[in-house]
Chains A and B, each alone.
Chain A
Amino acid sequence: MSTSKSASYVPGGRRINWQKVAVILAFGIVPLALLIIFTYVPFAKMIQFSFYNMSYTKNKGFVGWQNYLRVFGKSEYVGAMLLSLYYMAGAVVQLSLALFFASILSLEKIRGAGFFKSAMFFPFLVNGIAIGYIFKFFYTRGFVLDTVLQAVGIPLESLPYWLRDQSINNWSLVFTSLWKYCGQNMILFIGAIASIDPTLYEAATIDGANRWQQFLHIILPGIKTVFMLNLILSITGSLSAFEPAYVVAGMGANGTATFFIKIHQMAHVSGKVGQACAMAMVLMVLILIFTAGQRLFFRFAMKDSDNTFSAKSNKAKALW
């Protein structure tokens, strides 16, 4: 008995149950094989390649830690890493907004709630390449965004060039990410709020608690798990952010190239597979450190929710 949960059918005593073996093999082999081929083999190879000077076709030999030293030696890469700070800030804003709208839509009787939900959620369904086109047009001088801002009285001359000016273009990109994911986060929070026992609100109202107090004492504790989970995922996701810079800014042009885009270019433009693998390893270690660090922090910060940050929390990863 290797697991505790599965004491179900052992009718034949110790005799080997061939039907059981058949079912285990038939159902288990394909997913396991795919897991090994597409996760563990690439992972092992990634570790191995990161110590070699190699391209897709040629291996020029073992170089030790040289690839790793180059990652930290070049200010270009450190700068690319730092870009994720923009995305982290964006993630915090995004989750706060999502929580704000989720609370309004859950607590208040809002007319047209269905419409607001759909409208805010819909960007999540838009194809990434389409987002690239849409926002390039959105940000072009004198086009959509500028027209709208001019309509509310801001003169064009005082507006920045949203994608050209390096002081603002990363924020423009962060906004596209917020635009896409905020509604989806909101739906998750609405789902979590819905699972809170409704009698709690009634009790609170009788006690004279206002909306803010309800939010603070009922909603927040009730969805803490989901919120923190998404916060961890968003912040971790910020480290490997690439989508907006890849599709909107054209492969990270004009100082928007995140670390992931640097990896992509290293591997697919310069063909330096070994170097790219070392960069990917660095990225992975960073992500692991961040994940572990945040978990420790939250465990420390809210001792009552230990169990919620078990390994299973990666469920929502697909959303990123």
Chain B
Amino acid sequence: MKKLLALALCALLAISCFAFASAEEELPTFDQIVLGENTDLAADIHFVYHRTDLAGDDGKLAGYVKQFQETYPNINIEYELITDFAENALLRIGNNDWTIMGIPTVDKDELPNYFIPLGSLETLDGLYNFMSSWAYDGTCYGIPSTAAAQGVLYNKRIFQEAGVTELPKTPDEFIAALKLVKENTDAIPLYTNYAAGWTMGAWDAYIGVAATGKAEYMNQEFLHAKDPFTPNEDGTGPAAVYKILYDAVANGLIEEDYSTTDWEGCKPMLNNGEIATMVLGSWAFTQMRDAEGGEHPEDVGYMAFPITIDGKQYAPAGGDYNFGINVQATYEQKLASMYYLKWLTEESGFSYSEGGLPIAKDGEYPDLYAAFEGIDMVSDADALPGEETLLSELNSESELNFNAGGNTKVQAIVEHAFNGDESFEDIMAEWNQAWSDAQESLGVEVNE
């Protein structure tokens, strides 16, 4: 009953907002904006953002403004860059002292109160990546600034020397590639970084999108799944992720002494071809490439996680801050902001130069993602209303702690595989048991 009431209220609010907007003059949607038109548009834009590293009169952002003004000389853009942006933005979100802002952590149903709609999710999703993160009720309220995707670090030269001509796409291909590396080169096929702990927890990042191809898996289906860790015949699903690790260890495809791995030491090793692969997020790429003592930065590569679902590979990806436009701004400001954001997204190369994934579907991939073309980038969908905290509760109850510091369970896989004292199926059965018990004790509905 309460939910219904709240829904009705929200709808009313949304309608009134639309009504208010349409009372002036209809704004075009983001997809209808055509760059190069309307060049005499005049407005002052106040842009609030967190990238203080790009500040200054000769900083990167100022450069973008200058470039934009070559086409739109009458649109003035003033950047305000704030260090503790997350808090500051929340305080100011209801004010009229900004025009464009990186959307802070507000509840989605509040989006229409602060930001203008950019268009329907259906339309924009076809043109841009990661549009769903700030969409509410089928409407988008923000467009991502930059984005990142998760995969596997590898050394290109070693793969070549080993005879791995095509990047592995399935767990079997991956293990086969590691075996080739072991046979044909001196490199460690897969470096686990076991001792650091958090590096093992990093494997959890692939059990959602990468293993299932579904945006809804991690935060929605997983919570209600019955025995999610039962290994699938076709090498997909959460178990497939950990199976790769287990098999790599069991086949002797990892470092000799995993208990004393050295995180700092591994960086130049990957760079120099002493290590062939490491399973880590894209943030680690630049560290490996720029590692001190590393002599072959050009050999450091990044590939999608080797699981293929119905012939397709998926990479878990997510947008950084999304840009939103103030609902209280004037019509000219809103329109001018749309032109600027469209230009920023499609023509400025902002995301590319920041090492991020393209936001526009036809955008350019930075070197890091050279191997990601043709791979679907999907970001995790949010939890369903009322289940926002369920994943963390299940994590805690099951003590498995996926993507939440559950390093020891992944370390245990390495130990059992190495010592041969427990089969992979038994480990997964234990996890299933823990997950089922947690679901039961929290009264979670389980889908067969």
Whole-angstrom distance between the Cβ of B195 and the nearest chain A Cβ:
5
Name which residue of chain B comes closest to A251, CB basis. Answer: B197
Contact (Cβ within 8 A) A169 B259: yes
Interface stretch of the complex, out of B339-347, B371-379, B394-402: B394-402
Q: Which residues of A lie under 8 Å from residue B196 when comparing CB positions? A: 250
Name which residue of chain A comes closest to B418, CB basis. Answer: A164
Name which residue of chain A comes closest to B260, CB basis. Answer: A140
Contact (Cβ within 8 A) B260 A139: yes
CA distance A183 to B9 in the complex (A): 73
For A169, A252, A270, the residue with the greatest tally of chain B CB atoms inside 10 Å of its CB is A270
**Residues of A130-173 contacting chain B, CB below 8 A:** 136, 139-141, 161, 163-164, 166, 169
Contact (Cβ within 8 A) B401 A141: no
Contact (Cβ within 8 A) A254 B396: no
Given contacts A136-B195, A166-B415, A166-B419, contact A270 B399 (CB under 8 A): yes
Whole-angstrom distance between the Cβ of A56 and the nearest chain B Cβ:
10
Contact (Cβ within 8 A) B405 A253: no
CA distance A136 to B397 in the complex (A): 33
Name which residue of chain B comes closest to A161, CB basis. Answer: B257
Q: Tell me whether B367 is interfacial, beta carbon within 8 Å.
A: no
Q: Tell me whether A271 is interfacial, beta carbon within 8 Å.
A: yes
Task: Encode B183-199 as 1/0 by CB contact (under 8 A) with A.
Answer: 00000000000111100
Name which residue of chain B comes closest to A140, CB basis. Answer: B260
Whole-angstrom distance between the Cβ of A253 and the nearest chain B Cβ:
5
Contact (Cβ within 8 A) B406 A269: yes
Partner of B415, one of A139, A254, A269: A254
Partner of A141, one of B257, B404, B419, B441: B257
Q: Tell me whether A249 is interfacial, beta carbon within 8 Å.
A: yes
CA distance A290 to B233 in the complex (A): 52
Q: Tell me whether A211 is interfacial, beta carbon within 8 Å.
A: no
Chain A, interface residues (CB within 8 Å), range: 20 to 34
Whole-angstrom distance between the Cβ of A279 and the nearest chain B Cβ:
12
Q: Tell me whether A272 is interfacial, beta carbon within 8 Å.
A: yes
Whole-angstrom distance between the Cβ of B436 and the nearest chain A Cβ:
16
Partner of B405, one of A55, A139, A169, A269: A269
Whole-angstrom distance between the Cβ of A23 and the nearest chain B Cβ:
49
Q: Tell me whether A96 is interfacial, beta carbon within 8 Å.
A: no
Contact (Cβ within 8 A) B257 A164: yes
**Residues of A241-289 contacting chain B, CB below 8 A:** 249-255, 257, 265-266, 269-272
Partner of B395, one of A250, A255, A270: A270
Given contacts A139-B260, A163-B260, A269-B406, contact A253 B399 (CB under 8 A): no
Interface size on B, residues (CB 8 A): 25
Contact (Cβ within 8 A) A270 B396: yes
Whole-angstrom distance between the Cβ of B286 and the nearest chain A Cβ:
25
Whole-angstrom distance between the Cβ of B441 and the nearest chain A Cβ:
8
CA distance A56 to B259 in the complex (A): 32
Contact (Cβ within 8 A) B257 A140: yes
Q: Tell me whether B408 is interfacial, beta carbon within 8 Å.
A: yes
CA distance A139 to B399 in the complex (A): 31
Contact (Cβ within 8 A) B194 A253: yes
Whole-angstrom distance between the Cβ of A222 and the nearest chain B Cβ:
44
Q: Which residues of A lie under 8 Å from residue B195 when comparing CB positions? A: 136, 250, 253
Given contacts A55-B396, A269-B401, contact A254 B257 (CB under 8 A): no
Q: Which residues of B lie under 8 Å from residue A55 when comparing CB positions? A: 396
Q: Which residues of A lie under 8 Å from residue B408 when comparing CB positions? A: 251-253, 257, 265, 269
CA distance A242 to B197 in the complex (A): 17
Given contacts A251-B197, A253-B408, A254-B411, contact A161 B259 (CB under 8 A): yes
Given contacts A140-B260, A164-B260, A253-B194, contact A266 B399 (CB under 8 A): yes
Contact (Cβ within 8 A) B197 A250: yes
Name which residue of chain A comes closest to B200, CB basis. Answer: A253
Given contacts A136-B195, A253-B194, contact A141 B256 (CB under 8 A): yes
Given contacts A250-B197, A265-B408, contact A136 B396 (CB under 8 A): no
Partner of B259, one of A163, A252, A271, A272: A163
**Residues of B236-258 contacting chain A, CB below 8 A:** 256-258
Given contacts A270-B395, A270-B399, contact A141 B260 (CB under 8 A): yes
Name which residue of chain A comes closest to B415, CB basis. Answer: A254
Whole-angstrom distance between the Cβ of B26 and the nearest chain A Cβ:
46
Contact (Cβ within 8 A) A249 B405: no
Q: Which residues of A lie under 8 Å from residue B258 when comparing CB positions? A: 164
Whole-angstrom distance between the Cβ of B139 and the nearest chain A Cβ:
33
CA distance A139 to B259 in the complex (A): 10
CA distance A252 to B415 in the complex (A): 13
Contact (Cβ within 8 A) A272 B396: yes
Name which residue of chain B comes closest to A252, CB basis. Answer: B408
Task: Encode B378-399 as 1/0 by CB contact (under 8 A) with A.
Answer: 0000000000000000011101
Whole-angstrom distance between the Cβ of A196 and the nearest chain B Cβ:
46
Given contacts A269-B406, A272-B396, contact A253 B259 (CB under 8 A): yes
Contact (Cβ within 8 A) B401 A270: yes
Q: What are 10 A-B interface contacts by the 8 Å CB criterion?
A: A136-B195, A140-B262, A161-B256, A166-B415, A253-B259, A253-B408, A254-B259, A266-B399, A270-B401, A272-B396
Nearest 3 pairs of A and B residues by beta carbon: A163-B259, A164-B259, A140-B260
Extra A-B contacts (8), CB below 8 Å, given A140-B257, A253-B197: A139-B260, A141-B260, A164-B418, A269-B399, A269-B404, A269-B406, A269-B408, A270-B395
Residues of B within 8 A of A (CB): 194-197, 256-260, 262, 395-397, 399, 401, 404-408, 411, 415, 418-419, 441
